[in-house]
Amino acid sequence: MKKVVIIDYGSQYTQLLARRIRELGVYSEVIQYDDNPPDEIGGIILSGGPKSVNDVDALPLPKWILNTKKPILGVCYGLQLLSKELGGKVEKTEISEYGKTEIEISNDPIFDNIPKNIITWMSHGDSVVFLPKNSSVIAKTKNNIYAAIKFSNNIYGLQFHPEVKHTEFGDKIIENFLFKIAKLEKNWSLNYFIEEKIEEIRNEINDKKAIIALSGGVDSSVATVLVHKAIGKNLKAVFVNHGLLRLNEEIEVKKIFNDLIGINLTVIDAKKRFLDKLKNIIDPEKKRKIIGEEFIRVFEEVSKNNYDYLIQGTIYSDVIESAASGKNTAKIKSHHNVGGLPEDIEFKIIEPLKYLFKDEVRKIGEILGIPKHILYRHPFPGPGLAIRIIGEITEEKLNILKKADHIFIETLKKNNWYDKVWQAFTVLTPIKTVGVVGDERNYDYVLAIRSVNSVEGMTANWSKIPFEILEEASTRITNEVKGIGRIVYDITSKPPATIEWE
């Protein structure tokens, strides 16, 4: 099977590129610049990255790449690297371009069936200022910066990111590269992924046993059913109630998996031990590390050395924010199931969904027959409400946040807005402000409401929920939840912010 090889130079969008290619029916594989080339290469993409090609430690082109004579597409850092390696010049210019940028394109097969002017997503300080020999500019920005370069009939470079949804016709540009430039065929699907992954898991685990932490969220649910199909009764599903869950979650999860899906679920009440460990902890990274380690310790106690493998529902947005996807990627924050794990683990880790995005995971869940009301729940972080309480975690704050969050979600569902947004939740801040209740002064917490629209979680826009719905949620929360005196609405997109506050 002909594949597209993506050379990872550290961009947070590298796996998003891989995903866009898979969506178009072509298998893609991400490797590092110093890896050996895989077999059956049909095309090569050079990703973006955080470095400058002029840095002393800049990552070079793989030595083998130009000798393959395969079609190449450089994106951002990839374009600048091709330019420099082929004899051009890249410099830090007075004008940097970040975010949405309009470009004007020329006639070329890579831009077939695309308007002359489109909005793209830029993220660069350096620019190509001198072209390599026999190259031509096929797109420019309004600042007269080169936005796309054709180096030869099958080597191209884009200064912008076609893989993000902010770039208009980005999928079409990738499609044109795959089918018009690289002449590839559509021969990959999520059904193929499922079959391949089940076979892979079955071969690795063989007749040994595995254990999985089932939270009731989308990712762990899909991972559980997928691995259960591979090894059946050799998988033990455990629900750890660490006390940081949504309201009544421990009751709902047990009912869903015992009754609806037929997977025997063991429930461990570990609220006290987690809260004791988190006492007086304020730093969010420390919270994640503590929760990650305590999860492992609970699992080691449950397993009693009878389980060799730990299955995790890690998905790509977790991996990239924890800088665990590649050695050149910048770290944003740890996730308890990647960057938060202790080093002394008795288990071998298997992460079957590691390079998939949330919507791909949901589609796999549908194929596996998981009920939609599980698959389309809003994402919930592994560390739970620990990272939605800013500052120290207490029983009182947990109770306040659980009730407030439940009311917000209930209000969205009542007004048919829950399914219109990708993720909605509340955050309890450590700030208290003055209010007036029944002619008396009170001094209560500020609660932040957060809601975003996204596809894969790598980028997100804040949700334009109607004011009357926000007002209804605010009124109910301040009336029904003792301890909340003020509500604010977060209108920050990702980037520059992350979706969760911590």
State residue 347's pLDDT score: 83
Q: Calculate the alpha carbon distances from 208 to 200, 260, 312, 437, 498 in Å.
A: 14, 26, 17, 61, 39
Q: Which of 161, 228, 335, 378 is catalytic?
A: 161
Which residues of 89-168 form beta strands (DSSP E)? 89-105, 117-130, 136-141, 146-152, 155-158
State residue 472's pLDDT score: 98
State residue 279's pLDDT score: 95
Question: Residues annotated as binding site for ATP?
Answer: 215-221
Q: Which of 23, 97, 124, 163 is catalytic?
A: 163
Structural domain boundaries in the chain: 3-181, 190-375, 398-489
Catalytic, 166? Answer no
Gap between the Cα atoms of 340 and 278, Å rounded: 14
411-447, pLDDT tens digit by residue?
999 999 999 999 999 999 999 999 887 767 889 999 9
State residue 341's pLDDT score: 57
State residue 443's pLDDT score: 92
Topology at the third CATH level for domain 190-375: Rossmann fold (3.40.50)
State yes or no: cis peptide before 495, omega within 30 of 0: yes
Q: Do domains 190-375 and 398-489 have the same CATH topology?
A: no
Gap between the Cα atoms of 88 and 294, Å rounded: 53
* Residues contacting residue 294 through CB under 8 Å, at least 6 positions apart: 242, 270, 273, 274, 277
Alpha helices by DSSP H, 86-178: 170-176
State residue 285's pLDDT score: 92
Gap between the Cα atoms of 145 and 153, Å rounded: 22
Gap between the Cα atoms of 425 and 384, Å rounded: 11
Asked if 35 and 375 count as a contact pair (C-beta separation under 8 A), the reply is: no
Orientation angle between helical segments 358-367 and 218-231, nearest 10 degrees:
40
Catalytic, 161? Answer yes
Catalytic, 228? Answer no
* Residues contacting residue 13 through CB under 8 Å, at least 6 positions apart: 47, 48, 161, 163, 164, 458
Nearest CA to 159 out of 127, 194, 132 is that of 127
41-84, pLDDT tens digit by residue?
999 999 999 889 999 999 999 989 988 899 999 999 999 999 99
Gap between the Cα atoms of 468 and 446, Å rounded: 20
Pair of tokens at residue 351: 């992460």
Q: Which of 76, 168, 294, 360 is catalytic?
A: 76
Q: How many CB atoms lie within 10 A of CB 7?
A: 26
Residues of the chain with confidence (pLDDT) below 70: 259-261, 317, 319-344, 439
CATH numeric code, 398-489 = 3.30.300.10
Which residues of 454-482 form beta strands (DSSP E)? 461-462
Q: Calculate the alpha carbon distances from 63 to 33, 67, 145, 228 in Å.
A: 9, 8, 29, 43
25-46, pLDDT tens digit by residue?
998 888 888 888 888 899 999 9
State residue 328's pLDDT score: 52
φ and ψ at residue 234, rounded to 5 degrees: -75, 0
State yes or no: cis peptide before 496, omega within 30 of 0: yes
State residue 334's pLDDT score: 46
Asked if 465 and 417 count as a contact pair (C-beta separation under 8 A), the reply is: yes
User: How would you label 319-335 residue by residue, b for 16+ Cβ within 10 Å and e otherwise?
Assistant: bbbbbbbbebbeeebbb
Return the CATH class of domain 3-181: alpha beta
